[in-house]
Amino acid sequence: MATKGKPMTYSLSEMKDEFIGKTGTKKRDAYEHELSMEVLSYMIKKVRQERNLTQEQLGQLVGVQKAQISKLESSANSATIGTILKVFKALKAEISFHVKIENRKLQFG
């Protein structure tokens, strides 16, 4: 039933909490991990294209086959941190990781 007045609005965080699960739950952690891997895959592809490199050329720079670069660009889930670091180094792109422990933030890169 429609109500008069201002429509109800929800933040993205509230929607995630409602439909995926609260932060810290198994389902939410899996979702956040998958999203992070998708963003990473997208960034690798975007930087490769900006550098005007083919997947084969990037693979040669990294020392892997074109198929591995293709797989990495479609999903970084199976990639090791070492491979990801090699890819960004070959792309001459800086990458950094942030790890938050309690209220302290550690940085790598």
H or E stretch covering 59? helix 55-62
pLDDT digits (tens, 9 = 90+) for 38-72: 888 999 999 999 999 999 999 999 999 999 999 99
Q: Name the pLDDT band for 109 (thresholds 50, 70, 90).
A: low
Residue 83 in contact with residue 62, Cβ under 8 Å? yes
Q: What are phi and psi of 93, to 5 degrees?
A: -120, 140
Distance CA 17, CA 87 (A): 34
| Residue range 20-108, CATH number | 1.10.260.40
Q: What is the pLDDT of residue 1?
A: 46
pLDDT given at position 49: 96
Question: Distances from the Cα of 19 to the Cαs of 23, 63, 87, in angstroms?
Answer: 12, 42, 35
